[in-house]
Amino acid sequence: MIDMAVKHIPTGEVHKGYKGGITDCGFDTRAKPDHWEESVEKITCDKKGCKN
């Protein structure tokens, strides 16, 4: 099973979550929708929630 991932384009960091929602570490992707894209990459965020 692959976790849903969403990439923060300006930093290249990949979070657990999906575009249009809130990442598992608490970022709201709706605030700046153009900064986020759906991703199938490995999650690189090490904040609580994304890294489990």
Size of the site for Zn ion (CB under 5 A): 6
The alpha carbon torsion through 45, 46, 47, 52 (nearest 10 deg) reads 100
Shortest CB 10 distance to Zn ion, Å: 14
Residue 45 interacts with Zn ion (CB under 5 A)? yes
Among 6, 8, 15, 29, binds Zn ion (CB under 5 A): 15
Q: Could you list the residues that contact Zn ion (CB under 5 A)?
A: 15, 23, 25, 45, 47, 50
